[in-house]
A and B are shown apart, each in its own frame.
Chain A
Amino acid sequence: MTTTALHPQVTGLLKRPRGRTWIGWLLTGLAALCTGLTLMPLLAVLGFVLVRGMGRVHLALLTQLPPPPGSSGGGLGNALMGTVIVVSLGTVMAVPLGVLTAVYLSEFSHTPGQQAIARWVRLSINGLAGVPAILVGVFVYGLLVATGIFGYSAVAAGVAVAVLMLPIMVRTTEEALKRVPQELRWASVGLGASHYDTVVRVVLPAALPSVVTGVMLAMARAAGDTAALLFTALFSNFWPQGLFEPIATLSVLVYNFAAVPFQPQQELAWAAAFFLVILLLIASVVARLVMHRLPLR
């Protein structure tokens, strides 16, 4: 993307020795050092989480409850199950809403009035994407928890997580729809298909791989988030009791157990961090692979 397009003679100029070469080498070294320093935390964090979390991984971790303070053993089965439940609830709410919003933005906003609505929706989505997760938690607390509509519950947590997922869903879906070649739509209409058939049976299937990638990234974001769950899901030391009861999640478990003075709880925090990191790394790598395989036009 950079000097590849240069004429060979220009490239030759670059290689000609000059008096100022040592400054160039110094700056190159400095840039390399920056890259090293940037990547160092990645290795440090991953290394620690893998080493400290790995030792604790065994089957009982997935099937047992956290131990009471002071005793050892136990697992984080309830938190794992809670994360799956909360993220599923969020996905069920955010995916249809996000995809259909993106369909409107990309397929049905033609007249000036419609475009004005689309511009305003995009602006609002951008704002929403920039709002810190803790404020999403505060919002859902104020709307659903404190008012007593749901109280601390898996459903309230699901709503909070859905608000976090929504901007990612709208953006990735709209990008995906934009990449669907215009000819496909023309061909569909040319064959006599209606709006409905064109969108549902031609355009959306063509965009499906990117949309699924977006769903995966949004779910990963939801699973890793803690701030929005702190006072919507709260926490529980027991198996999930139902959708309208407080529920344990992996990320809140890490936060709650990180600073307690009991060794087994700290070990569980590292093990939960290990699961979260593995989950998110897999999602990122798969998303990256899918996006690179996609045919661009």
Chain B
Amino acid sequence: MVPDSRSRSSLERWCDRWLVRTTLGLAVLTGLLLALMVGVITWRALPAVQQFGLRFITGSAWNPVPGREDFGVLPMIYGTLVSSGMALLIAVPLGLGTAIFLSEDFIPRPLRLVLAFGVELLAAIPSVVYGLWGMWVLIPLLQPLARWLHRHWGWIPLFGTEPVGPGLLPSALVLAIMILPLVTAITKDALAALPPELRQASLALGATRWWTIVRVLIPAAMSGIVGGTILALGRALGETMAVTMVIGNANQLQVSWLAPANTLASLLASQFPEAQGIQVSALMYAALLLVLLTLVVNILADVIVNQLQAKYE
């Protein structure tokens, strides 16, 4: 961009070289941060990896009593996957509907902008505030529904325990609320990025507005929508505070959605401050699993979103 020139003072040249080298050094430093993070967590997890091996993933004991320590994170993996999965099942259809409503001209543009900004604000509320709200407002509100589910559908293992309040159900709802802005924003962007000719051609062939949306626009934007969904999954898997406050932090494996449970992230949040010895290392092992899980999910999302961009460039 900036061509070299011959007639500069030595001070100027020194400044230039210094600036380029400093920024390069800092950029490399920034780039190494992620590797350093994975490295430090792996290093700290090593004692537990050596002691427990793969048994850590398949085991469901969590016993920090000195001398008889045994750790397994199967219940937390179950809790993480189920709460995130349920959150996606709720958030993706809602987000899709909202994105369509806010990107078509159903309502006047100023109103649309206000509503879209409202959805953005949903992302600005801190996780811990959602947790506080979930704890004192959402859980009492869900209690009648949970009791009804248990009374009438209790023969299904998923509703097989007496509802006590905290559990997977409120966690999934809070997670759904928290990933909705992300799903909505990415779907909206994917729809907006489509070439206008697609819509015009469909309408010119006599299709109605909704026929155009359902049969032309959504299939064309599909990779963006799927990418956004996976990105939201990554966010849900690692979401900590709100979940920790409404899930009950129980380390036993319970299939029921109404029983207290735990996730990998909330295990870390609730146990780290009091952990000692090998338990710290076991928690680092759990953190390592979470790092790998979120990195894989995020890379997958990146690849899919980039494919969409490449398609219409």
Complex: A203 Cα to B43 Cα, angstroms: 42
Instruction: State whether A32 and B106 are in contact (beta carbons under 8 Å apart), knowing that A10-B204, A100-B26, A101-B27 are contacts in the complex.
Output: yes
User: B117: which of A166, A277, A288 is its contact (CB, 8 Å)?
Assistant: A288
A185 near B268 with CB under 8 A, answer no
A42-B118, A131-B291 known; A270+B132 contact, CB < 8 A: yes
Cα A277 to Cα B206 in complex, Å, equals: 48
Q: Is A296 an interface residue (CB 8 A)?
A: no
Q: Determine whether the beta carbon of B30 is less than 8 Å from that of A6.
A: no
- Chain B: residues with Cβ within 8 Å of the partner, total of 107
Please tell me if the beta carbons of B118 and A128 are within 8 angstroms of each other in the complex: no
Of A54-62, A70-78, A118-126, A207-215, the one contacting chain B is A118-126
User: Which among A24, A48, A120 is the interface contact of B210 at CB below 8 angstroms?
Assistant: A24
B213 CB contacts on chain A under 8 angstroms: 27
CA of A170 to CA of B235, assembled, Å: 20
Q: How far is the CA of A296 from the CA of B93 in the complex (A)?
A: 34
| Stretch among B2-10, B50-58, B149-157, B252-260 lining the A interface | B2-10
Q: Are A226 and B128 in contact (CB under 8 A)?
A: yes
Contact with B along A1-38 (1 / 0, CB 8 A): 11111110010011000101101100110111111011
Say whether A255 contacts B131, CB under 8 Å.
yes
Whether B101 pairs with A35 at a CB distance below 8 angstroms is yes
Known contacts A27-B210, A142-B43: does B37 contact A199 (CB below 8 Å)? no
Closest CB-CB distance, A29 to chain B, in whole Å?
Answer: 10
- Are A189 and B135 in contact (CB-based, < 8 A)? no
A residues near B132, Cβ cutoff 8 Å:
49, 254, 258, 269-270, 273
In the complex, the chain B residue whose C-beta lies closest to that of A199 is B19
On chain A, the residues within 8 Å of B24 by CB distance are 104, 108, 114, 117
Q: Which residues of B contact A199 (CB under 8 A)?
A: 19
Say whether A130 contacts B234, CB under 8 Å.
Answer: yes
Tell me the bound Cα distance from A276 to B211 in angstroms.
Answer: 44
* B103-116 near A? 1/0 per residue, CB < 8 Å: 11110000000010
Q: Is B272 interfacial (CB-CB < 8 Å)?
A: yes
- Interface check A105, CB cutoff 8 A: yes
Determine whether B209 belongs to the interface, using a CB cutoff of 8 Å to chain A: yes
A2 near B104 with CB under 8 A, answer: yes
Contact B121 A42 (CB under 8 A): yes
Q: Determine whether A110 belongs to the interface, using a CB cutoff of 8 Å to chain B.
A: yes
B30-A97 in contact (CB<8A): yes
Query: Which single member of A20, A100, A103, A132 contacts B265 (CB below 8 Å)?
Result: A132
B41 adjacent to chain A (CB < 8 Å)? yes
